[in-house]
Amino acid sequence: MHVIKASNASDFLGLVPALLGFTPTRSIVAIPFEGNRTLGAARFDLNPAHGPSEIASTVVGIICRVEAADGLAVVVYTDDDSDTCRGLAPALLARADECGLTIKDALYVAHNGWGGLLTDEGPRPLAEINASLAEGHPIAGDQRVDGTANVAAVQLAVRRFHIGVHAETTDNDAFLRFAQ
């Protein structure tokens, strides 16, 4: 087991692909926490047909079922600009509060930059995302290869995320920890 500390949001965003085993696109990644340690990750398709309340209910509902989870971090990966995902933050906060989860962070990665969903700040440059902490950890690449889903990468992510079951750990698993 590897423990990697993310001291800020750009470090955390650089580590999410290593935690999943692939770089997500058009997705919401929900990362349950017990204290400051991750318990895995779940990726949800970002479907524009569903509103913020429905998306938040689904995401938080799944994380509520993770044994020992007391917190949640969410990252929205979108091909659109940063403004398109801002409406999700209030719904996530409300659902997490109903479930007794603390929101550790809510971030986005858009074509025009990255930033926090819980702030009014404009997007920051994508080049600021610090992937150097993930060097040496397996990342299978994009979740899509030649226009089709990268099944091996998705299966890897599913194996690392067990709802209501103790997570399997191997020497290849990478756990993220928020620095205090």
- At 115, list the tokens: 């930033």
Tokens of 91: 């719904």
Structure tokens at 54: 């429905």
Contact 123, 107 (CB under 8 A): no
What residue type is 152 in one-letter code? A
Tens of pLDDT along the chain (180 residues) come to 556 677 789 888 988 888 888 888 888 999 999 998 888 888 888 887 888 899 899 999 999 988 899 999 999 998 888 888 888 888 988 999 999 999 999 999 998 999 999 888 889 999 998 877 677 665 545 544 444 444 344 333 433 333 322 233 333 333 444 443
HSE value, Cβ hemisphere, 13 Å, CA-based, for 51: 3
